[in-house]
Amino acid sequence: MDVTPLEDGFPFGIEQDSLADSMGAKIPNRSLGILAGPIGSGKSLICQRLIYGMLENGAKIVVVTTELTTRGWIEQMHSLGYDILEYINEGKLLVISRFGTIAESVPDVGFEEVLSSESMEETDLVFIDSASQLMPDEMDDKARFDLIDRLRRFTAGNRTIILGIDEEELDPATVRALKTTSEVLIDLSTNIIGGDLKRQIKVTRFLRAAGPLQATIGWRVEPGMGFIVDITAVS
């Protein structure tokens, strides 16, 4: 039996850039994705690019931001040229911030409370940026197992979850557990070359990819133009 695109994965290609052509074309359904990188590496920007692409291709998404108000998150999307108000009005996008404003407020909330929220029941994908701020700094083996088990039960409900994490905010064993259990693992880095800031996506793991995969992808963001793949830095 044929499956629709949103049953086997979530396309994120848009006309403005070629990211999907270099990074697997679709995020697989029922998967755990990890975007890992330090402060300033572009986790939020990559999340926002993926979110916009998936919305443009028909997905229903819940976004949890631990860093911005809902208004601030929406304004940042618009600064990139990504108009998402129509999706919010249609119920295709819900933005939740622990700081509140505009959408649902979740103050002083932990990771389990986020996953148990009623808003998660009818969505295709959940993005949490930055998820590491909702997790304990240190976990023992049982807590770590319980975390992974909870994520697996969540994705088994025909949902995909993508977590942005700062590895410096978690203990190494928890970072390793999250990375090794993920279907999609993207490591982000920045370098100064010739006085210019160079951002890089490293596709460490991407199971069930529906299209070509590049090992590394250079990128930048231009105001009003959004995400731009640097073709001189793609390998």
Q: What is the mean pLDDT of residues 141-148?
A: 95
Q: What are phi and psi of 140, to 5 degrees?
A: -85, 180
- C-beta of residue 31 within 8 angstroms of C-beta of residue 205: no
- C-beta of residue 167 within 8 angstroms of C-beta of residue 35: no
What's the rounded Cα separation, in Å, for the pair 230 and 38?
21
**pLDDT tens digits for range 65-81:** 988 889 999 999 998 88
What's the rounded Cα separation, in Å, for the pair 86 and 203?
31
DSSP string, the chain: ----HHHHEEE---TT--HHHHBTSEEETT-EEEEE--TTS-HHHHHHHHHHHHHHTT--EEEEESSS-HHHHHHHHHHTT---HHHHHTTSEEEEETT-SSS-B-TT--HHHHHTSGGGTT-SEEEEETGGGGS-SS--HHHHHHHHHHHHHHHHTT-EEEEEE-GGGS-HHHHHHHHHH-SEEEEEEEEEETTEEEEEEEEEEETT-SS-B-SEEEEEEETTTEEEEEGGG--
On the CB side of 42, CA atoms within 13 Å amount to 23
Tell me which amino acid residue 164 is: G
Q: What is the pTM of this model?
A: 0.90
Q: What is the pLDDT of residue 7?
A: 66
**pLDDT tens digits for range 86-143:** 999 999 999 988 776 554 545 556 788 888 888 888 899 999 998 998 888 889 999 9
With a cut of 50, say whether residue 2 has pLDDT above it.
no
First-to-last C-alpha distance (Å) of the chain: 36
**Domains contained in the chain, CATH given:** 5-233 (3.40.50.300)
Give residue 4's pLDDT band: very low, low, confident or very high (50, 70, 90): very low
Segment of 3-12, 29-38, 213-222 carrying the highest mean pLDDT: 29-38
More confident position, 50 or 234: 50
